[in-house]
Structure 1
């Protein structure tokens, strides 16, 4: 086993996995690494507050055991900004009032970026009309369906949808390459 496959790369930094194999990725990030951007909501995979990116794909970190992610790249909301320059999706959330309390915002943003990768790979959703398309189109219905696993209890849903749509139209939705630095 190589040294790289025995660590988890979190926001570009190699860290040893927890000694207890029962620790969730969410608890490992929050309690061990002090990364509090990823939120604990329902702790059952139903709200999406804990969504983050693993190798560019969105996952629910409350349902994942940290030890399962050795040798993988984990990106949390903390790594999306470039210094003082916000990720375009983060900026779009501000510009379109895509948050009120902000609790769901990190998961929403990570989910939107992960969703962009799904679109680019042509991964269909429940409402995708052309299942043979090489790339799915982000219609309003498609966006709402793909983001349905991320709940906002404050009523900022319309702002969230507007922010994601604007970032997508500007070609900035999948701009997550800098996050793995």
Structure 2
């Protein structure tokens, strides 16, 4: 009797582990086109290049290169922290601190600036894992043409796990609050 019970328990644990493993695989593979290989656009001439915060050496340099190459005359920086604020003194740079300090806050402020400056197009730069959600949020607030490009972040496995969890949770939040 004891042996039959233990065999059933082992069988149930095995099935449960198989379900957990299969669920994990589904999440990982479903996330690949959203977080790891999102749709990006080829950079071309736009009214403004917009760097979602926080600003770092990689994204700032990329944004500056786009402006220097003549793709836009304005570089917009979301600077929720002090990092990157040194670039705000340049004549072609517009900086702001998003309120709220979220991607939605960044999208709202960019849309306000776009209206003031009559921008009809933007090249938005963010991390690879953030592209899909940023595109969704930006398109809710900015009715102009959006081009989304990423700079590759050197993520290790723990950071990829963090990004999957964080971005998934942030997607749910964005779906619950579908306004700009």
Higher helix share: 2
* Bigger radius of gyration among the two: 2
Higher strand share: 2
Considering Cα pairs closer than 8 Å and 6+ residues apart, tell me whether 1 or 2 has the greater RCO: 1
TM-score normalised by length of structure 1: 0.30
